[in-house]
């Protein structure tokens, strides 16, 4: 019963470095999401994918790219990390568009120095 | 611009009382409204979903109301327990896509 698995759990980067956050779900869900969570600001949607092969921008997409590799996996890439991207990142999946509940991973804490 | 506001950052209540949390939204017409619980260092966990044409939903000690005229949802926890202490998030989504947006959350502390 893994659910949504995110890796890595912790990462420290220097400004300008790149990295990819990995997310996989084993619930056969169509929709997947990436959020970031900052103190006092709640969860903000970065990108989402309604189905394999499609991705859409959310509220704060700048500085990020995503890939829906297959139905199970949805990765988030920071090409040139900036201190403003220091945050906790959550991946989530959902069985249905709009009305589906989200199942979240445990989060990836990223610090950019 | 769209805005989702939860009434306060923190709410402290005594064990056994009813906790009431508020979620207000502006410039938004959600078809669905959801409530999640988040414990420190963990991902949010789904609690309840209510549709725009529903006034109220209950699950055990939880009750959610949804007033599309007031643009407000109320989330109640009756007979609260210290184990209910957590941050509670509301989330809104339109009917036809996946663009689900969250409020900043209310941190509830239930004191014994």
| Token pair 């249905």: residue | A96
Query: Which residues of chain B have a Cβ shorter than 8 Å from any chain A Cβ?
Result: 4, 9, 31-32, 34, 36, 41-46, 49, 51, 89, 91, 93-105
The string of pLDDT tens digits covering residues A55-80 is 999 989 999 999 998 999 999 999 99
Q: Residue B26, by phi and psi: left (phi above 0), alpha (psi -120 to 50) or beta?
A: beta
Band (A97; pLDDT cuts 50, 70, 90): low
Q: What is the mean pLDDT of chain A?
A: 93
Burial of residue B26 (number of CB atoms within 10 Å: 0-12, 13-18, 19+): exposed
DSSP state, A73? B
- Whole-number pLDDT of residue B78: 97
The string of pLDDT tens digits covering residues A6-57 is 999 999 999 999 999 999 999 999 999 999 999 877 899 999 998 888 999 9
Distance of CA B43 to the CA centre of its chain: 16
Burial of residue A86 (number of CB atoms within 10 Å: 0-12, 13-18, 19+): middle
A35 touches chain B (CB under 8 A): yes
Q: Chain B residues with CB inside 8 Å of A97's CB?
A: 96-98
- Whole-number pLDDT of residue B41: 92
Whole-angstrom distance, CA of residue B52 vs CA of residue A28: 27
- Whole-number pLDDT of residue A77: 97
Q: Judge whether residue A98 has pLDDT over 80.
A: no
Whole-angstrom distance, CA of residue B111 vs CA of residue B89: 20
User: Residues in chain B with pLDDT < 70?
Assistant: 96-97
B27 token code pair: 């410039």
Q: Chain A residues with CB inside 8 Å of B9's CB?
A: 40
In the sheet that holds B72-77, the strands lie side by side as: B3-6, B19-26, B72-77, B62-67, B56-59
Q: Chain A residues with CB inside 8 Å of B100's CB?
A: 33, 45, 48, 102
């Amino acid at each position: 019963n893994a659910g949504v698995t995110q890796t890595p759990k912790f990462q420290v980067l220097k400004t300008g470095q790149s990295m990819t956050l990995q997310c996989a779900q084993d619930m056969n869900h169509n929709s997947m999401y990436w959020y970031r969570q900052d103190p006092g600001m709640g969860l903000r949607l970065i990108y989402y994918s309604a189905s394999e092969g499609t991705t859409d921008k959310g509220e704060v997409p700048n500085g990020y790219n995503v890939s829906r590799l297959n139905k199970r996996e949805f990765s988030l890439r920071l090409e040139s990390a900036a201190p403003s991207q220091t945050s906790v990142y959550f991946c989530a999946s959902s069985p249905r568009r709009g009305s589906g509940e989200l199942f979240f991973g445990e989060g990836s804490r990223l610090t950019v120095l | 611009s769209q805005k989702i506001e939860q009434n306060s950052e923190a709410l402290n209540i005594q064990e056994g009382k009813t906790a009431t949390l508020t979620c207000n939204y502006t410039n938004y017409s959600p078809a669905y409204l959801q409530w999640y619980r988040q414990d420190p260092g963990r991902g949010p966990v789904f609690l309840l979903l209510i549709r725009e044409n529903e006034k109220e939903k209950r699950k055990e000690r939880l009750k959610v109301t949804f007033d599309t005229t007031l643009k407000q949802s109320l989330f109640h926890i009756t007979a609260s327990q210290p184990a209910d202490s957590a941050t509670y998030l509301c989330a809104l989504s339109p009917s036809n896509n996946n663009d689900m947006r969250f409020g900043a959350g209310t941190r509830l502390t239930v004191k014994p």
